[in-house]
Structure 1
Amino acid sequence: MRAILHKYQGYSKDWILDHPYCALLLDMGLGKTLSSLTAIVELLTAFEIIENVLVIAPLSVAEKTWTDEIEKWDHLQHLTTSKILGSEKQRKAALSKKADVYLVNRENVVWLVEHFGRRWPFKTVIIDELSSFKSSRSKRFKALRKVRPLMNQVIGLTGTPSPNSLMDLWAQIYLLDQGERLGKTITEYRNRYFVPAQKNGHIVYSWQLVPGAEEQIYSKISDICISMKAKDYLKLPPRTDNIVEIQLSEESKQKYKELERHYVLELAEADVVASNAATLSNKLLQLANGCIYDENEDAREIHQEKLEALERIIEDSQGQPVLVFYQYKHDLARILKRFKQAKVLDVKAGDIQKWNEGKIPILLAHPQSAGHGLNLQRGGHIVVWFGLTWSLEYYQQANARLDRQGQKQPVIVHHLVAKGTIDEQVMEALKNKEAGQESLMSAVKAKIREVKLCQKL
């Protein structure tokens, strides 16, 4: 198929060509992969300034998305690829193969760095979902930091650069400019732009921006980052976010309150014990969903209210496919038991194609494994969040599996929210985080004067 890039995609491609290191903060569905690959083709052929490229991506994206895009478009089909995935033997075999583009999942970054050391061969590196390197304490960040001086070109791609706060930016920008803009260390960055918000003695639990810091940070990174929002460039069908309130029985409410107040819930055969606030939050989310792990790690069902609500949504959909996001294994087991026609997403089994062909009536997916790079927009337009996530990144990316370019119908996102539970706090937190994300995206938004909104896309 012949590819005709939209003007915003051409702008993104040129941005890569004009910057030895940069970030494309592009909303989901704006074609980051196609823009990047088109730039790579020009760098490999027209300019002949690079030899091979390493793409670091989530596993499902490394396995399928990039190669699918290469196979789809005529001007990319000459590119050769090699997937550094699987067992160590398979990874080494992939490295010995001559290719234009090497693909590795982010979990194997540490192994790849240790394998090559100072002999690091990849001068051009694309980090797909740059936000997965947001933690300066993570092994994957520390590994990539070691070999960053050996790279000539680094391209970061993400739609969620600050999923939790602007503290998330430092590690991502460091992998681009090695500390030139936001400081050489996270401590330097933190001391310059933040002050403690909550602390106990020398222990700081959270940080807040100093006055004017937000604008300073945006200004610092604006020369290497461009941001685009889908609503500015795509004629997407409308999306409706629907809160489905779940009313728990008095018995279920009492169990919830008992666990919330005392960190312990006494059940017939074993107790549920939360050792700290973080564990309690997790347990409360489980209970709101209807099932909870006890101290023996056995799943104990408390109620079926969310299953009943899910059944009503499926019935109301009148045979239209439904994509359901779950959080816990016991949620998955209960959904599968209730709905025999449901199928757990398996990329290797060809479920993406089956879904897009309308052959799967209920597709079950975990947002952490299905939240990046999967094109499911041709198979349905109804999303149900059976269990909620605190992560804005997973939340936005998961919704974007259907709410993206190519979708023909209005998207409906149902959230099953148990009244009077932690579900309500999660929804509020996601709204607040989304507001902060919008500020960053707007601050570094690309100024493409020649592109008119919604121009023949």
Structure 2
Amino acid sequence: MKYKPYDYQEYATQWILDKEKAGLLLDMGMGKSVITLTAIDELMFNYFEVSKVLVIAPLRVAESTWDEEAAKWDHLKHLKISKVLGTEKERINALYTKADIYIINRENVKWLVDKCGKDWPFDMLVIDELSSFKSHRAQRFKALKKVRPFMKRVVGLTGTPAPNGLIDLWSQIYLLDGGERLGKTITGYRERYFLPDKRNQHIVFTYKLKEGAEEAIYEKLSDICVSMKAEDYLKLPERINNIIPIHLPKKAKDKYDQLERDLLLPLKDSDIVANTAGVLANKLLQMSNGAVYDENGDVKEIHNAKLKALEDTIEAANGKSVLIFYSYKHDLDRIKKHLKRDDLTVLDTSEDIKNWNEGKIPIMLAHPASAGHGLNLQAGGNIIIWFGLTWSLELYSQANARLYRQGQKQNVIIHHLVAKDTMDEDVIKALEGKEVGQEALLNAVKARVRKMGGNENER
């Protein structure tokens, strides 16, 4: 296929060509892969600046997205790609295969660094989903930090660089510039731009920005990072968010209310204990979906109201392909058992992605964490059903962007199965308000405790 780039894609490719350290903060679906591959091709065969490129990506993206993207476009088909995946023997064979681009999943970054050591062979690094390196304590960050000086060019790609706030930026930008802009240490970064927020004596749990710090950080990064929003550059079909209210049976709602009230739900053979806000929220979301793990790890079924609603929603799709996001293993098992369909597929391999996009899969189940980054599924359908919800705004946004992205021809309908008067409603409210993660969870739990007349400090 002949590549006819949008103006913003040409701009972004040139950004990489012009800068040895480049951050592309592009919304999902804007073509980060083809932009970067085009720049790599130029740098390798016209500029003669790089000879061996390492791409680090989430596993499913590493398995399929980059090599498929190169094979898709006429001007990139000559690029030789080796996927450093699989068993250690397979990874070693791939590593010593002659190629232009080597792709590895982020879980094996430490292995690669340990394997190559000072004989690091790559002169250019591309980090697909840079935000997955937001923790300065993670082994993958520490390993990559060691070999960062050996690479002349680094490109970071992400649509969500700071899903939990600007505190997450330090380690990501360090991998781009070695600490030139935000400092050599996370401690220094915090001291310059943040104040302690929530703490327990000397232990600080969260930080808040100093006055003017946000603008100062953006100014520091403006020469190497470019940010683009899809709505500013792409004409996408309409996205339709639909809430499907689920009324729990009285017996199930009574059990739900009891757990919420007492943090203890006596069941026939065991007790479910929720002694922290996080555990409580998790248990309540499980119960909203219809089943819950007890303290022995066994599944206790509570109701099938969501399963019936899911079946009705699939039927209402009138034969169109449906992508279903589930939260827990027991959700997956119960959905498969309830639907009893031979044409149901659980997203697992690159072959599943191919079959979905070719219209061969009418119903596909996926966990949002396994479909969260980089997968192109827009050719296979336009209907999403959230059976179970997630507190993670990043996972939620990334999962929806598998269908709602460049190349989608139809309006995208996103159904949310929401159990009435349960934690489901708090999650939806948080997602709609773009609240994030643990903070939204804790606020929701505290609000429910207050509503019931309790004292959250005692909980």
**When the two structures are superposed, what TM-score results if normalisation uses the length of structure 1?**
0.92
8 Å CA contact 1:165–1:433 kept in 2: the answer is: no
Map 1:46-195 → 2, pairs under 5 A: 46-195=46-195
How far did residue 182 of structure 1 move?
A: 1.5
Which amino acid in structure 1 is aligned with residue 429 of structure 2? Answer: E
How far did residue 360 of structure 1 move?
A: 1.4
Cα deviation per residue 1:143-194 (whole Å; 9 max; x = unaligned)?
1111111111110001111112111111111111111211221122122222
Identity in percent:
62
Q: Which residue of 2 aligns with 1:383?
A: 384
Distance 2:304 2:211 in 1: 48
Which amino acid in structure 2 is aligned with residue 430 of structure 1? Answer: L
How far did residue 375 of structure 1 move?
A: 1.3
Distance 1:192 1:68 in 2: 43
Per mean C-alpha deviation after superposition, the further-off stretch among 16-25 and 211-220 is 211-220
8 Å CA contact 1:164–1:392 kept in 2: the answer is: no
Which amino acid in structure 2 is aligned with residue 398 of structure 1? Answer: A
How far did residue 429 of structure 1 move?
A: 2.5
Instruction: Evaluate the alpha carbon distance shift between residue 194 and residue 427 of structure 1 in structure 2; reply closer, same or farther with a 3 A threshold.
Output: farther
Distance 1:399 1:138 in 2: 27
Asked if 1:202 corresponds to 2:202, the answer is yes
Q: Which residue of 1 aligns with 2:344?
A: 342
Unaligned runs of 5+ in 1: 437-457
- State how many pairs are aligned: 435
8 Å CA contact 1:164–1:433 kept in 2: the answer is: no
Q: Which residue of 2 aligns with 1:412?
A: 413
Q: Secondary structure of the equivalent of 2:226?
A: strand
8 Å CA contact 2:393–2:436 kept in 1: the answer is: no
Q: Secondary structure of the equivalent of 2:405?
A: coil
Cα deviation per residue 1:121-157 (whole Å; 9 max; x = unaligned)?
1110000010111111111111111111111111000
Cα deviation per residue 1:223-279 (whole Å; 9 max; x = unaligned)?
111111111111110001112222223322222222223332111012112242222
**When the two structures are superposed, what TM-score results if normalisation uses the length of structure 2?**
0.92
Distance 1:95 1:72 in 2: 24
The alignment's C-alpha RMSD in Å is 1.6
Asked if 1:397 corresponds to 2:408, the answer is no
How far did residue 65 of structure 1 move?
A: 0.5
Instruction: Evaluate the alpha carbon distance shift between residue 261 and residue 193 of structure 1 in structure 2; reply closer, same or farther with a 3 A threshold.
Output: farther
Q: Secondary structure of the equivalent of 1:433?
A: coil
Which amino acid in structure 1 is aligned with residue 417 of structure 2? Answer: L
Q: Which residue of 1 aligns with 2:262?
A: 262
Which amino acid in structure 2 is aligned with residue 357 of structure 1? Answer: E
8 Å CA contact 2:55–2:102 kept in 1: the answer is: yes
Which amino acid in structure 2 is aligned with residue 404 of structure 1? Answer: R
Of structures 1 and 2, the one with the larger relative CO (CA 8 A, separation 6+) is: 1
Q: Secondary structure of the equivalent of 1:211?
A: coil
8 Å CA contact 1:13–1:38 kept in 2: the answer is: yes
How far did residue 342 of structure 1 move?
A: 2.1
Instruction: Evaluate the alpha carbon distance shift between residue 22 and residue 381 of structure 1 in structure 2; reply closer, same or farther with a 3 A threshold.
Output: same
How far did residue 207 of structure 1 move?
A: 2.0
Distance 1:114 1:12 in 2: 33
Distance 1:389 1:422 in 2: 11
Cα deviation per residue 1:372-407 (whole Å; 9 max; x = unaligned)?
221111111111111111112211111011101111
Q: Which residue of 2 aligns with 1:283?
A: 283
8 Å CA contact 1:243–1:414 kept in 2: the answer is: yes
Which amino acid in structure 2 is aligned with residue 176 of structure 1? Answer: L
Map 1:278-357 → 2, pairs under 5 A: 278-339=278-339, 340=341, 341-348=343-350, 350-357=351-358
Unaligned runs of 5+ in 2: 438-459
Instruction: Evaluate the alpha carbon distance shift between residue 246 and residue 389 of structure 1 in structure 2; reply closer, same or farther with a 3 A threshold.
Output: same
How far did residue 435 of structure 1 move?
A: 9.6
